[in-house]
Amino acid sequence: MKKHRVIETLDHLPDEFSLEDLVEKLLFLGKVEKGLQDAEEGKTISLHEAKMKMEKKWQASQ
């Protein structure tokens, strides 16, 4: 995550906020950035593939 992203996030928070609120927002932004980067790099799978993986997991756990 880049410094300007953290500053931007701080600017959008109210004058008083909890540390948990800040951490939650930064973690969320970090995950979104990672997802976008993965998508750009082709590191994603289709919805159909995801469903098939989940079905296999559920069947194996039964």
Q: How far is CA 18 from CA 2, 7, 14, 44, 49, in A?
A: 21, 16, 10, 34, 39
pLDDT category at 3 given cuts 50, 70, 90 is: very high
Look up residue 42 and give its DSSP letter.
T
pLDDT at residue 61, as a whole number: 86
pLDDT in tens, 14-61: 999 999 999 999 999 999 999 999 999 999 999 999 999 999 999 998
Rounded to whole angstroms, how far apart are CA atoms 41 and 5?
21
Q: What pTM was computed for the model?
A: 0.70
pLDDT at 17: 96
Please report the pLDDT score of residue 62 as a whole number.
Answer: 81
Count of structural domains within the chain: 1
Question: Nearest CA to 5 among 24, 23, 39, 30?
Answer: 30
